[in-house]
Structure 1
Amino acid sequence: MRIEFENQTIDFNVLYGNRKKLSIHIDSTGHITIKAPNGTTDAAVMEAVERHGARILQKLQAIENARSAPKTKEYQDEGKFLHLGKYYYLHELIETKDLNEDELKASLKKFYFNSCKKLIAERIKTYQTQLKVKPKTIEIVESRTKWGSCSSDKHLTFNYRLAMAPLEVIDYVIIHELCHLTHMNHDRSFWRRVGSIMPDFKEKEEFLARYGQAMTL
């Protein structure tokens, strides 16, 4: 099926089943699946897709942006860098005048650190309330292997490169680490807790696995 939304075409498949609510799933390749209760009319499906059209297009654009990531970083005014899932010219993110490449790279890293710190501080409040947990400390770090971590003493760390990801992906990492405050292992209880807040968390994991390499300096 397909609909036209804001002069763009949204193609999707519909999967009917024994479920109570209609849900929209977008995988890491941009494939859209509508999971609907048995007996749901085509009109109801189309209305739901149209109602969430803006969010769907935003996510599809983020996937396309990550897929077309430039392989070589160009530290000049017209070089492009990710921020919140979208590409921006370097001069749109930081001041570039009279700075050499090393200075530009240092300034951009500082921008990402500050942006990530602000985003985490703002967005963690809601989720820690929902999960009824509170970390002792939160730190923004540089890591090549982890997007976030939780220690046994309730110390959370988040990779500064998360500032390059779409907001919903940042939210997933926040929820993931907050859930570790009560479930240190990745057991069924842990994933059930994650899913209770973000049912489509697997899509966010797939996004990081597929496009995380583009989120770098």
Structure 2
Amino acid sequence: MQIQIGDQTFALNVQYSKGKKISLQIDGAGRLNVKAPKGTADEAILNAVQGHSAWIIEKLSSLETAKRVPQPKAYEEEGSFLYLGKEYPLHELIGTGERDAEALKLALKKFYFTSLKKVVAERMPPYQNQLKVKPKSFEIVESRTKWGSCSADKKLTFNYRLAMAPPEVIDYVIVHELCHLLHMNHDRSFWRRLGGIMPDYKDKEEFLARFGGFMTL
């Protein structure tokens, strides 16, 4: 679903639930997420969102400004951190207790490592079946330059910071590395195979290019 606000067109990610009200959230990636009661007419959703036009423009403007100037992380219970593309207070991701900022940072990193390993293990098999490939192993690593890698002996790695990305972006990196099991170079055959599994892969690449620098501890 799309909506026109001023001279801009925005995509709406609508989720239907058992709730009684329409609610709107703008996540850290600038996407408009709407929750609506089951059976709500499209027109009612669009009208509700349109009523928040000024707030949407202001919020998106703030996000654009924030992208240019990375904000220091607040390692405290209510500090905001990304997980699977959404922002959460720190205490919802890890136990905070009486830990100091450095201990909280280390605990959060461990959470990202452990969580991403589970996410990749759950989401990779369907793509393996589609591509008819099987990596020798995969592990979660820390890297400043790569989101993933594939070695000549079919071992895959994934950057722990991907735990901060939306699931569909994690899927892109998974598929990207699985395709390298068939084509080690980024030649035309590689991109054709990748596009066959994930036609919108360029959108995922753009997301990482725009927001990857903010997916940090």
Name the TM-score, length of structure 2 as normaliser: 0.73
Counterpart amino acid of 1:91? H
CA–CA separation in structure 1 for the residues paired with 2:26 and 2:10: 9
Give deviations 1:37-69, integer Å, cap 9, x for gaps. Answer: xxxxxxxxxxxx8xx7449xx997452177556
Q: Check whether the contact 2:146–2:159 (CA below 8 A) recurs between aligned residues.
A: yes
Q: Which residue of 2 aligns with 1:119?
A: 119
Q: Match of 2:91, SS?
A: helix
The separation in 2 between residues aligned to 1:159 and 1:30, in whole angstroms, is 33
Give me the whole-angstrom Cα distance separating, in 2, the residues matched to 1:62 and 1:128. Answer: 30
* SS of equivalent to 2:191: helix
- Judge conservation of contact 2:75–2:104 (CA < 8 Å) in 1: yes
1:143 counterpart = 2:158: no
Residue 129 of structure 1 corresponds to 129
Deviations 1:115-144, CA, capped at 9 Å, x for gaps: 100000000011001100000010100001
- Which runs of at least 4 in structure 1 moved beyond 6 Å after TM superposition? none
State the alpha-carbon separation in 2 of the partners of residues 92 and 140 from structure 1: 22
- For the aligned residues, what is the CA RMSD? 2.8
Q: Does the 8 Å contact 2:3/2:10 carry over to 1? A: no
Unaligned runs of 5+ in 1: 4-8, 13-28, 33-48
Q: Distance in 2 between matches of 1:59 and 1:10?
A: 15
**1:104 partner amino acid:** L
Give aligned pairs, total.
Answer: 175
Match for residue 187 of structure 1? 187
- Alpha-carbon separation, structure 1, partners of 2:9 and 2:75: 30
1:164 aligns with 2:157: no
- TM superposition shift of 1:31: 5.6
* Structure-2 change in CA distance of 1:30 and 1:165 (3 Å): farther
Q: 1:180-215, CA deviations, whole angstroms, 9 ceiling, x for partnerless residues?
A: 000001111100101111100000000000000110
Q: CA deviation at 1:30?
A: 8.1
Number of the residue aligned with 2:30: 64
Write out per-residue CA displacement over residues 88-131 of structure 1, whole angstroms, 9 at most, x where no aligned residue. 01011000011111110110000000110000000001100110
8 Å CA contact retained: 2:28, 2:87: no
The separation in 2 between residues aligned to 1:75 and 1:141, in whole angstroms, is: 22
Q: Match of 2:158, SS?
A: strand
